[in-house]
Amino acid sequence: MSVWEQIKALFVSEEPVDAVFKEAWLEHLNHNLPIYKRLPDELKICLRQKIARFIATTYFEACGGLELTDEIILTIAGQACLLIVNHPGEPYPNLKTVIVYPAAFKSVQRQVDALGIVTEREIARTGESWSNGTVVLAWDSVAHGARNIFDGNNVTLHEFAHQLDQENARSDGVPILHTPEAYRTWANVLSDDFERLVDRAERGKKSVMDHYGATNMAEFFSVATESFFEKPRQMYKKHPELYQELSTYYRLDPRVWFLPS
CA-to-CA separations, 172 to 162, 181, 208, 233, 247, in angstroms, rounded: 9, 18, 21, 26, 19
Q: How is the chain split among helix, strand and coil, in percent rounded to 5? A: 55, 15, 30
Residue 54 domain flag: no
Residue 147 domain flag: no
CA-to-CA separations, 164 to 133, 157, 158, 176, 227, in angstroms, rounded: 10, 10, 10, 8, 16
Residue 150 domain flag: no
Kindly tell me the sign of the dihedral angle through the C-alpha atoms of 193, 198, 202, 206.
Answer: positive
Residue 131 domain flag: no
pLDDT at 141: 98
The whole-angstrom separation of Cα 175 and Cα 162 is 9
Q: Cβ–Cβ contacts within 10 Å for residue 72, how many?
A: 23
Beta bridge partners of 109: 121
Residue 241 domain flag: yes
pLDDT at 116: 72
The whole-angstrom separation of Cα 171 and Cα 221 is 10
The distance from CA 128 to its chain's CA centroid, rounded to whole angstroms, is 11
Name the residue range of residue 241's domain.
172-261
CATH number, position 237: 3.40.390.10
Residue 123 domain flag: no
State yes or no: pLDDT of 165 exceeds 60: yes
Beta bridge partners of 99: 61, 136
229-242 average pLDDT score: 98
Whether the Cβ atoms of residue 89 and residue 112 lie closer than 8 Å to each other: no
Residue 71 domain flag: no
pLDDT one-digit tens code per residue, 75-114: 999 999 999 999 998 889 999 999 999 999 988 777 766 7
Residue type, 189: V
Q: Measuring CA to CA, which residue among 208, 179, 174, 205 is closest to residue 190?
A: 174
Note the pTM of the prediction, 2 decimals: 0.91
The whole-angstrom separation of Cα 169 and Cα 172 is 10
For 130, list phi and psi in degrees, rounded to 5.
Answer: -105, 145
Mapped onto helix, strand or coil, the DSSP state of residue 47 is: helix
Q: What pairing do the DSSP bridges indicate for beta strands 134-138 and 127-130?
A: antiparallel
How many domains does one find in the chain?
A: 1
pLDDT one-digit tens code per residue, 118-156: 777 778 899 999 999 999 999 999 999 999 999 999 999
Residue 165 domain flag: no
The whole-angstrom separation of Cα 159 and Cα 134 is 10
pLDDT at 13: 46
